């Protein structure tokens, strides 16, 4: 694709050589003259000066001396669009591998792609254009919508509901039993884990993440939410729309997460906690059972508190030895005659 075509596609302002051919996207430092890269911020623009990229996406009003640039509203977003144009995702060939085991009564749309050793149980439905990688298992009565991509070894328990354009990475488990027991007579009795699990449209879930079904209620992952690897979502959790949840975070039973919430890695959220819209939880923070995090708040630490308080506390903690020394001084002065 010529840079002029790319620029037009992005509704952008081109500066430099419009006739260059680009074929790929790359980072500034590894880009070749056939690559499109993007530059943001002072450091990005400085690094752009030395880049061999054939075309650099920059913010409107900017350019990079000696380089062909395409100025757009959001350079990083423009790179996504450039990649989509230059490298359209290869659709797996539709068809059903002969080694797949598909129960009678399963409904598969005509153009699905079913990989080797896939197992599909009774009463399952798989929507148009969806692809199931090698060894995927779909339990009885589960539904997978249109244009989903399930990577190899995904396990979907019976009855789960998966929307459209959902991506589940390798080893993801959807719909396993929640962790609920009643202690009586010296042992733990399993509480019924009979509820559902709903994964709405446009959700992406990272490798080996686990999402439990509801016990009596339903576990819900809202539309557009993105979940990283090795995350734990317990029974009856409700996550709103367009949240981002980084790796190894764990959300305990019946927690409610609003829309546009961001959680960094290794966060823990206690049972029945409520995290309102647009809140941000910083890495390794622990939100206690039943705690409410208000709309838009940014929290850190265990127990989680507003991040400014925690940062101040860190400073005070670092000064604690000096404070103790000062108190000893004052005490010795006070007891002197």
- Least distance from its own copies to the Cβ atom of residue 222, Å: 12
133 counts as binding its own copies under rule CB under 8 A: yes
216 counts as binding its own copies under rule CB under 8 A: yes
Binding positions for its own copies, 248-267, rule CB under 8 A: 248, 250, 252, 265-266
- Least distance from its own copies to the Cβ atom of residue 64, Å: 18
At which residue do the structure tokens 């598909």 appear?
102
Q: Which of 176, 272, 297, 306 binds its own copies (CB under 8 A)?
A: 176
| Stretch (H or E) spanning 269 | strand 268-269
101 counts as binding its own copies under rule CB under 8 A: yes
Residues contacting residue 83 through CB under 8 Å, at least 6 positions apart: 25, 36
308 counts as binding its own copies under rule CB under 8 A: no
Q: Which of 153, 238, 274, 278 binds its own copies (CB under 8 A)?
A: 153
59 counts as binding its own copies under rule CB under 8 A: no
Interacting span for its own copies (CB under 8 A) from 13-21, 41-49, 106-114, 244-252: 244-252
Spatial CA neighbour of 251 closest among 230, 264, 229, 267? 267
- Total number of residues that touch its own copies (CB under 8 A): 98
Q: CA-CA distances (angstroms) from residue 27 to 38, 54, 88, 194?
A: 7, 12, 18, 48
Report the alpha-carbon distance of residue 65 to residue 269 in Å, rounded: 49
Tell me the residue length of the chain. 337
Decide: residue 171, CB within 10 A, 0-12 exposed, 13-18 middle, 19+ buried: middle
58 counts as binding its own copies under rule CB under 8 A: no
192 counts as binding its own copies under rule CB under 8 A: yes
Q: Which of 4, 32, 123, 229 binds its own copies (CB under 8 A)?
A: 229
| Stretch (H or E) spanning 96 | strand 95-96
190 counts as binding its own copies under rule CB under 8 A: yes
132 alpha-carbon distance from chain centroid: 20
Q: Which of 97, 189, 235, 272 is catalytic?
A: 235
34 counts as binding its own copies under rule CB under 8 A: no
Task: Look up residue 273 and give its two tokens.
Answer: 């906690």
Grouping H, G, I as helix, E, B as strand and the rest as coil, residue 327 is: helix
Q: Is 189 a catalytic site residue? A: no
Interacting span for its own copies (CB under 8 A) from 8-16, 53-61, 110-118, 122-130: 110-118
Q: Which of 8, 33, 105, 181 binds its own copies (CB under 8 A)?
A: 181
Number of helices (H) and strands (E) in the chain: give both, helices first: 5, 39
91 counts as binding its own copies under rule CB under 8 A: no
Grouping H, G, I as helix, E, B as strand and the rest as coil, residue 70 is: strand
Give catalytic residues, as residue numbers. 235
């Amino acid at each position: 694709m010529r840079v002029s075509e790319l620029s037009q596609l992005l509704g952008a302002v081109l500066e430099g050589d419009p006739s260059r051919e680009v074929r790929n996207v790359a980072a500034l430092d590894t880009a070749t003259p056939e690559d499109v890269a993007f530059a943001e911020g002072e450091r990005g623009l400085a690094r752009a000066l030395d880049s061999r990229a054939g075309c650099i996406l920059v913010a409107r009003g900017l350019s990079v001396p000696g380089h062909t640039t395409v100025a757009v509203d959001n350079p990083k977003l423009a790179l996504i669009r450039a990649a989509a144009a230059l490298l359209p995702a290869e659709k797996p060939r539709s068809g059903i591998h002969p080694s797949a085991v598909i129960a009678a009564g399963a409904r598969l749309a005509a153009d699905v792609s079913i990989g080797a050793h896939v197992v599909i149980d009774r009463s399952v439905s798989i929507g148009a254009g969806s692809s199931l990688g090698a060894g995927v298992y779909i339990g009885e009565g589960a539904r997978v919508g249109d244009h989903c991509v399930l990577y190899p070894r995904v396990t979907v328990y019976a009855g789960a509901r998966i929307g459209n354009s959902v991506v589940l990475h390798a080893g993801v488990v959807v719909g396993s039993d929640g962790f609920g027991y009643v202690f009586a007579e010296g042992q733990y009795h399993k509480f019924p884990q009979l509820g559902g699990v709903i994964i709405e449209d446009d959700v992406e879930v990272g490798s080996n993440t686990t999402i439990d079904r509801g016990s009596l209620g339903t576990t819900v992952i809202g539309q557009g939410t993105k979940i990283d690897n090795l995350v734990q979502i317990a029974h009856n959790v409700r996550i709103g729309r367009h949240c981002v949840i980084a790796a190894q975070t764990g959300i305990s039973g019946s927690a409610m997460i609003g829309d546009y919430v961001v959680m960094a890695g290794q966060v823990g959220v206690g049972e029945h906690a409520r995290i309102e819209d647009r809140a941000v939880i910083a890495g390794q923070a622990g939100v206690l059972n039943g705690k409410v995090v208000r709309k838009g708040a940014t929290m850190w630490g265990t127990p989680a508190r507003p991040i400014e308080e925690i940062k101040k506390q860190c400073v005070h903690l670092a000064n604690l030895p000096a404070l103790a020394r000062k108190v000893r001084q004052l005490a010795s002065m006070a007891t002197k005659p």
